[in-house]
Amino acid sequence: MNITVIGAGYVGLVTGTCLADVGNDVLCVELDAARIERLRQGEVPIYEPGLKELMERNRRAGRLRFTSDVAESVRHGDVQMIAVGTPPRADGSADVSQVLAAARAIGQHMDSFKLVVGKSTVPVGTGERIRATIAEALRERGMPAAGETFSVASNPEFLKEGAAIDDFMRPERIVIGTEPGPGGERAREMLRQMYEPFNRHHDRALFMDVKAAEFTKYAANAMLATRISFMNELANLADAVGVDIEQVRRGIGSDGRIGYSFLYAGTGYGGSCFPKDVRALIHTAQANGHSLRVLRAVEAVNEAQKGVLVGKITARFGENLKGRVFGIWGLAFKPNTDDMREAPSLVIMRALLERGAQLVVHDPVAMDEARRALARLFEQRMALLDHVRYADKPMEAAAGADALVIVTEWQAFKSPNFNALKRALKEPVIFDGRNLYEPAIRQQGFEYHAIGR
């Protein structure tokens, strides 16, 4: 199939590359000409395991191409997949202006039937706005805007950063929302054909209407965020009553109705999806006269959880941290990504720096992104950044520190040489925000502070 992917960001690049890898002719369009040129040269602007190699293979095979020419991109694809950003507005709502701009461009340039697929995470009802935007652009050109001129579908992504290639190639489910009538039937057949290579073992496609598909994406992320905040609430109570939350996690996770996924206590969720999508769903409820009280609590718990580790640090060392040095392991919001968006590490580092601390930080891949994120965070107080030093190796971050603070659960941090770590630290104190170690580490002479342990 000829497929156009609009947007060469995280979702667009993974989607386009994976579709090209099963034999489709994919053209990715991005208005940033400089970015397109870098992609043509084989540069990958994001960190995602396996993506660079997969892109290179399909780029060399000619199945994956990049352009900034909108007219060319509309001509190319029978399927037009919109995978642009939907950043949060100040009120928490999702900004769909890029989605509608893409829809308008399709309407301005299309000269044959197009299946327009929403891949971006969008509020319920955006599909209708996409249809109206395309129809308006067609009418302005004096072309028919009804019947089978085009069809709109919703196909939300469920990609986990750090495992996106595997998620796309071996999906748990493929959610497809289509319109009623002949256009919707045509859309279902086209999408069934497009996803056939990913359905060989068993059919994973779940067909529904467009609004239900849009809602499903938000509902899924909201549920996962809820599980995280629920477990963090229990972990904080476990600390108060002297219970090991890991034992509790195993106890409740063994219940098949509950399961183990997303039940790990820690420093809260971050990234580009959960915070944004929870707020957007809360805003959608408000706009429709409802209050999602559970999700409001989920958001409040998560924001508070990012400060729990700071509370443990100040309880141990006092509010004035001037002269104290802390080694930080992990900066990205989760392992296997360099994404710093809403990362708990930013909240923790800010709190420590504002209290006068010196930080020596290390992350396997997110160092450059962390520098940029901290520069944005402290743009009015750049002098604080003089108190941050970047270490190439984990043990360098720990050397001479008053304590080690673990924020991201990278594999490389899970089994360090504890004897070497103890020698490196000024004091053998660990604040473990991801519960990587067992409390028995205290028997090796470490002062160990974890979440609910």
Indicate which residues carry an active-site annotation: 273
Tokens for 285? 């409820």
Q: How far is it, in rounded angstroms, from Cα 33 to Cα 91?
A: 32
Q: Where are the alpha helices (DSSP H) in 30-85?
A: 33-40, 51-60, 70-76
* H-only helix segments in 92-181: 97-109, 126-140, 164-169
Structure tokens at 155: 């196909």
Q: Do residues 39 and 17 lie in contact, with contact meaning Cβ atoms separated by under 8 Å? A: no
SS3 436: coil
d(CA 67, CA 62): 13
> Among 293, 294, 298, 307, which Cα is nearest to 405's?
307
* C-alpha 350 chain-centroid distance: 22
CA distance 87 to 95: 5
- Measure the CA–CA gap between 320 and 293, rounded to whole angstroms: 37
Give the CA-trace dihedral at 45, 46, 51, 55, to 10 degrees: -20
β partners of residue 176: 207
Contact call for residues 331 and 433 (beta carbons, < 8 A)? no
Q: What are phi and psi of 447, to 5 degrees?
A: -90, 110
Give whole-number Cα distances, 197 to 127, 167, 170, 276, 364, in Å: 26, 14, 10, 32, 34
Spatial distance between the Cα atoms of 393 and 407, rounded to a whole number of angstroms = 15
Tokens of 443: 């028997």
Distance CA 127, CA 192 (A): 19
Report how far residue 16's alpha carbon sits from residue 10's, in angstroms, rounded to the nearest whole number: 10
Helix (H, G, I), strand (E, B) or coil at 329: strand
